[in-house]
Amino acid sequence: AQLDATLLDGELVVDSLTSAKRAQPGDDAPATKMRFLAYDACHVAGKPCCDEPINVRLMRLRRDVLGPRYALSVEKPESFADDPFTVEQKDFFDLRQLPHIFSRVQSAPPGSSILYAYNDPLRPLSHGNDGIIFTPVRDPYRPYTCPALLKWKPSNMNSVDFKLMTKWRRKDGLPKAQPRFVLCVSENGLHQMYTWITFSEEDFERFASDAKRDSRILECVYDPDWQTVEYDPNDSRENTWDFPRVKQGGWRFERIREDKKMANDIRVVKSVESSVRDGVTAPELLSTLRIPATASELGAFAPQAEGHGGAALSAQPQQPPAPVAPTSASVPAPQNE
């Protein structure tokens, strides 16, 4: 097969491995593993397939790419020994499996590099999960943004990456300036102040003593129950911290993004804020699709677990996969992301 004439769409993920899954025993065993998860095929073995339905495109991926690679790995395991990553097909599901998917998404343990984990003993996901992709089954593959491709996530998983900035002023007549923190967004390639952030007492002390704080990118979620303390951002009008104003709702810190140097663009932030305001909860989603589910089957997607608001359906770039066996040609099908 002419696998050099093959173009796949997918994502490269870095999985965290437990000691039991590491490739080699001992302290030098790798703690991570890279996988290319293919979720669509544009051109396979010299044949274009963009205009085929998704089940045909994925069939060609399995038959002409993954199948031969697996056979070669059995016959000659050394063939892939130096590959920097493995190649697999990303998991996809039938609509009726949504309650099963929801029930397996749980908050990751404290200190983890991910916020939510997909804990299915039959198919664990080691790179985190933050929502569901609905992919039209019979539509052709098209690059860029596909309006028929929808991503759903609870509002507590709708996060934004901000750049942290410290402001210094005096408080209560003290001679030494005290820090307060603002969040910056990217606009035209530059970081601009966007809003204030109020940390927990522990996180405040953490960033107040962090020499690299103003280079940090913080992943935050919007919480309408979080009390945010604001001040006049203009230092010439207000040069102390003596006039705080408390606002109900605000961005709550989740984790530091060590892998990023730039904040999200302001257009992304506005889109996320709109998604939070107009959210759809997991029960509402399942009710609309007429899929029965109990509260215990909602996992981290349960309203009480969300903590605020609902979730959003928004157009996404055509990237994640779709299930092979749709329940209806007119109904999108879900993909665990």
Domain extents for the chain? 1-18+31-90, 93-151+281-306, 157-272
- The CATH T-level fold of domain 157-272 is OB fold (Dihydrolipoamide Acetyltransferase, E2P) (2.40.50)
Between CA 324 and CA 306 the distance in angstroms is: 30
pLDDT for res 168: 96
Q: Which amino acid is at 325?
A: A
Between CA 118 and CA 96 the distance in angstroms is: 18
Give the count of beta carbons closer than 10 Å to the beta carbon of residue 44: 23
pLDDT for res 132: 86
pLDDT for res 330: 31
In angstroms, the Cα distances linking 88 to 37, 143, 273 are 5, 21, 34
CATH architecture label of 1-18+31-90: 2-Layer Sandwich (3.30)
Q: Which two tokens stand for residue 277?
A: 């305001």
Low-confidence ranges of the chain (pLDDT < 70): 1-3, 17-30, 110-115, 124-128, 130, 303-337
Cα angle for residues 151, 116, 35 (degrees, 5° grid): 75
Q: Do domains 1-18+31-90 and 157-272 have the same CATH topology?
A: no
Alpha carbons within 13 angstroms on the beta-carbon side of residue 7 total 9
DSSP three-state, residue 189: coil
DSSP three-state, residue 214: helix
pLDDT for res 308: 40
